[in-house]
Amino acid sequence: MTFWFIVLGLPLCLAGAGFLLLPSRAAEFLRVFPRSVLTGRILCVIAWFWTAYEIDALGIDVIDRIVKQLWFLPSAIPGAVWLWAIVLSVLTCWWMENLLPIRAVCAFLMLFPGDMFPAIRLCDTQWRLALVVFAYVVCIVGMWGMFYPWRIRQAMAWTASAAPRLRAAGAAMSAVGALFLALGICAAAGAIK
């Protein structure tokens, strides 16, 4: 649990501090990020390979049956999900370039709970629910943003358009990040299990 509190808390604190201390750069980032082609391609490839890892680790039977029933693939290609990650990375970067960074980040938001939940489910403290609630909220945002990335872009542009909104977003990220870091330190010290 310490790992997840720190891994989630540190980036939130840093992003929140960036929003609070460098509002003009944060606003520029929010305006430019959604249409950054190179960033989108890199994040897209990472997202597809992370998806392949999750599918491979879980051994989802439905995916295995689909891969085995394709007429142009031999029935037992080892690592077929990794080949699909390559193919889908190329096709996604080619056909879905618009707002690709947002879609890739939304994929991350949907994927990370898959590794987190098994690690924290047996922790004997109610503080694990802070991670669970956070994961569900960002997973819902990820699902919504995957289908409606222009709404996320609009929200980013709206936040960037006014300094008070940037400060509020920075303060919220900093507060959640600081809570997670404090809980991570407490968990590392053994104060919470």
pTM for the whole structure: 0.85
C-beta separation of 57 from 81 below 8 A: no
Task: Give the mean pLDDT per block of 10 residues along the chain (193 residues).
Answer: 94 96 96 96 96 80 63 60 88 93 96 90 89 96 96 96 96 97 93 79
Q: How far apart are CA 23 and CA 134, in angstroms?
A: 25
Q: How far apart are CA 145 and CA 141, in angstroms?
A: 6
With tokens 């690690």, the residue in question is 119
Q: From residue 56, give the alpha-carbon distance in Å to each of 53, 78, 100, 104, 169.
A: 5, 11, 24, 19, 36
